[in-house]
């Protein structure tokens, strides 16, 4: 059974999510506080996707996300945000979330987002080529790791997918739409700002000076390019 952590302090919303996840073939693991969520993750290390509400009675969802990412770069994380709070979306992505869903949301939308993350966090056929090298970077597509000058860089699944796309297309300008469709899927309905936030996060991890990027460069009015 595919386990999904559901962190939501409002029992009515949590119950609604749990029912629909079960109908879609998932095994929901419930939590109503941040500390409960972290305990559930320790007790269920096979959880592959976590839904994190932002507003919680103890620590907020952003802090839960930070703590998860401090020890686990592989798990998929979706933030549940209020529709009116645009900064919640950006903050969630910058703290390590892969995606966000705004309340109120439909069961079909939420399930589609979870399905997409499950596909990225495991189960896909291994590619024929195991390693892509663009000095000083070395990306291993089998164990999904990235090294810079021999030192490991922790990436989320989304960050890995974007980096892989860039390293497979060195010197090619990729539009935001190109990146979005390649990483999130053509059928995925989302905001192109998600691409920009993830690029910003990647630059912090990959660049010597994120304010003057040399690896992921901006093609103004279009998108981005792997600067080799």
CA distance 160 to 93: 14
Does position 222 have pLDDT exceeding 80, yes or no?
Answer: yes
> Which among 139, 105, 99 is positioned nearest to 120, based on CA atoms?
99
pLDDT at residue 17 in the model: 93
Does position 202 have pLDDT exceeding 90, yes or no?
Answer: yes
Mind listing the pLDDT tens digit for each residue in 16-45?
999 999 988 899 999 999 999 999 999 999
Tokens representing residue 204 in the block: 């912090």
Does position 146 have pLDDT exceeding 90, yes or no?
Answer: yes
What is the dihedral sign for C-alpha 116, 73, 37, 53? negative
pLDDT at residue 84 in the model: 60
- 8 Å CB contact between 91 and 60: no
pLDDT at residue 24 in the model: 87
The residues pairing with 54 across neighbouring beta strands, listed in sequence order, are none
pLDDT at residue 189 in the model: 67
* Section 177-202 average pLDDT: 85
Q: What is the mean pLDDT of the chain?
A: 87
Confidence of residue 187 (pLDDT cuts 50, 70, 90): low
| Whole-number percent of the chain with pLDDT over 90 | 55
> Which among 87, 1, 86, 103 is positioned nearest to 51, based on CA atoms?
103
| Whole-number percent of the chain with pLDDT over 70 | 92
Confidence of residue 103 (pLDDT cuts 50, 70, 90): confident
- With 0.75 as the threshold, say if the pTM is over it: no
Bridging pattern class, strands 151-153 and 49-53:
unpaired
Does position 209 have pLDDT exceeding 90, yes or no?
Answer: yes
Tokens representing residue 57 in the block: 């009675």
pLDDT at residue 208 in the model: 94
136: preceding bond cis by omega (within 30 degrees):
yes
pLDDT at residue 127 in the model: 44
- 8 Å CB contact between 215 and 209: no
pLDDT at residue 131 in the model: 87
């Amino acid at each position: 059974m595919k386990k999904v952590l559901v962190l939501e302090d409002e029992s009515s919303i949590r119950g609604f999510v749990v029912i629909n996840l079960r109908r879609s073939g998932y095994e929901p693991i419930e939590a109503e506080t941040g500390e409960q969520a972290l305990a559930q993750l320790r007790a269920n290390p096979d959880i592959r996707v976590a839904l994190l509400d932002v507003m919680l009675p103890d620590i907020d969802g952003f802090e839960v996300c930070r703590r998860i990412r401090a020890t686990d770069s592989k798990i998929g994380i979706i933030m549940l945000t209020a529709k009116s709070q645009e900064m919640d979306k950006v903050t969630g992505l910058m703290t390590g979330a892969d995606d966000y869903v705004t309340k109120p949301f439909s069961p079909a939308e939420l399930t589609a987002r979870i399905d997409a993350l499950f596909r990225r966090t495991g189960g896909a056929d291994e590619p024929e080529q195991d390693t892509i090298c663009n000095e000083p970077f070395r990306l291993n597509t089998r164990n999904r790791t990235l090294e810079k000058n021999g030192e490991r860089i922790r990436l989320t699944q989304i960050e890995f997918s974007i980096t892989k796309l860039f390293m497979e297309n060195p010197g090619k300008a990729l539009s935001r739409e190109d990146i979005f469709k390649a990483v999130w899927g053509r059928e995925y309905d989302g905001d192109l700002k998600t691409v920009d936030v993830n690029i910003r996060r990647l630059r912090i991890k990959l660049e010597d000076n994120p304010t003057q990027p040399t690896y992921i460069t901006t093609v103004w009015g279009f998108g981005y390019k792997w600067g080799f």
